[in-house]
Amino acid sequence: MMSYGPPVDLSFHHCTLDKILSKEPRQGALPVIKSEFGGLMSASLRLSNNRIQNLNLLPAVACRFLEYPEALAWLDLSCNQLSDNPVELRFFPGLRLLYLHGNRLTDLHGLLAVLRDLPHLYGLTLFGNRLPEKYRAAVLRALPHLKSLDFCNVSLADRQRAFHEEWH
């Protein structure tokens, strides 16, 4: 079994993904674990509080920093400037936690089309975007496996309300 270390923290560089490629991860309380090949042994990537407008280079960033980018399970893209649908997330079907809050996302239908392709996603944040007011119900209908939305556990009553809204 592979051993993974703490998240690779590339937050608060206040730059775009092309610039992040040349940055070094921030040091946290726990040291990052390097593989014998030089990649970082982590399944988590923090890219929050930057100026990321699109995810065109996300696969390159993951490959640059992670020894096993295909094992990416937690991705924090909060507090950026994302406005395009993040289709590049499909490169990471193992994502379990995805933070997208505090961006400029507007196209809920397109976003849900991407998120449906992440079969293991159980935690998602979307608050603080420019999404329709009742996005929560639409998200719960589209992603029945979701266990947490906007840092709140999803209850059976939440799901029932979401499906009730669809029919009324």
Q: Give per-residue pLDDT as tens, 54-113.
A: 999 999 999 999 999 999 999 999 999 999 899 999 999 999 999 999 999 999 999 999
DSSP for 4-20 reads --S-EE--S--S-HHHH
At residue 28, the pLDDT reads 83
Fold of 8-167: 3.80.10
DSSP state at residue 97? E
pLDDT of residue 166: 63
The residue type of 68 is Y
38: which 2 tokens? 């030089």
Q: What angle do CA 114, 20, 74 make, to 5 degrees?
A: 40
C-alpha distances (whole Å) from 5 to each of 23, 25, 30, 65, 67 are 19, 13, 8, 13, 11
**pLDDT of the residue at 2:** 62
With tokens 């420019």, the residue in question is 130
* pLDDT tens, residue by residue, 16-50: 999 999 999 998 888 888 888 888 999 999 999 99
φ/ψ (deg, to 5) at 167 = -95, -5
Domain ranges of the chain: 8-167
Residue type, position 121, single letter:
L
| pLDDT given for residue 12 in this prediction | 97
Give the pLDDT band (50/70/90) at residue 167: low
Using one digit for the tens of pLDDT, what is the confidence trace for 121-141?
999 999 999 999 889 999 999
User: Alpha-carbon distance 2 to 14, whole Å?
Assistant: 32
Residues forming beta bridges with residue 74, ordered by sequence position: 44, 97
Cα distances from 98 to residues 29, 46, 74, 95, 160, in angstroms, run 22, 10, 6, 7, 24
pLDDT of residue 100: 98
Give yes or no for a contact between 67 and 39, defined as CB atoms under 8 angstroms apart. Answer: yes
